[in-house]
Amino acid sequence: MSESQERPRTALVVERWRKKIGLSKQRLADLADVSATYVRTIEAGFDHQGREVVPSAAIMQKLARGLAQAHADEARRTELESAIYAEMMDAAGYLDRIPVEEPAPKEPPASSPIAPSETPIPSTPHQGPVTVTLRDPRLWRHAADLLDSWESLHDDDQALLLGIIEFVHTRHGRGTTR
């Protein structure tokens, strides 16, 4: 990092929260299940070749969870994790990637046996099938493609989308999605 380069906002956010909670970089790494070298690199903001380092949404979630686990007030940990994660997502600029234009309306496929307000979510090895019911049928046109292709998305993209939803939900004063 040259003298003229400012550290990325994510580096500053991680460092500020780590110091506020009173953790060493090693302890945060242990709690977040990432390497201490990666925590140091994230906080430096640049790798050894001078490239800016902004962690993925999945890593930010791990860091937020690790930071929250170390907080003394156990009752506030979930709330704190959401707040830290939302601040990291904002600092990383992930939310700037949300398209502003509304896509053309999409109706459910005519051949689909699924009602417009419901769609099954594929089951995981530890859970049975889940059905999502959208209270407002207008949401179908916005959610159908995403729900249909969810399993084909990379884990980081899934984490990013969930983080965006949680961030927006929290920012609008509705609590957390957990």
The pLDDT tens digits for 38-75 are 999 999 999 999 999 989 888 999 999 999 999 878 88
Quote the pTM value: 0.56
pLDDT band at 137 (very low <50, low <70, confident <90, very high): low
The 3 state secondary structure assigned to the chain is CCCCCCCCHHHHHHHHHHHHHCCCHHHHHHHHCCCHHHHHHHHHCECCCCCECCCCHHHHHHHHHHHHHCCCCHHHHHHHHHHHHHHHHHHHCHHHHCCCCCCCCCCCCCCCCCCCCEEEECCCCCCCCEEEECCCHHHHHHHHHHHHHHHHCCHHHHHHHHHHHHHHHHHCCCCCCC
In a domain, 146, yes or no: no
**Considering the domain boundaries, does residue 44 fall inside one?**
yes
- Could you list the residue range(s) of the whole structural domain that residue 47 is in? 9-97
* Bigger pLDDT: 76 vs 117: 76
In a domain, 69, yes or no: yes
Question: What digits encode the pLDDT tens for the residues 82-129?
Answer: 889 989 988 888 765 444 444 444 454 454 444 444 444 444 444 445
- The CATH number that applies at residue 21 is 1.10.260
Q: How many domains does the chain have?
A: 1
pLDDT recorded at residue 160:
81
Question: Is 166 part of any domain?
Answer: no
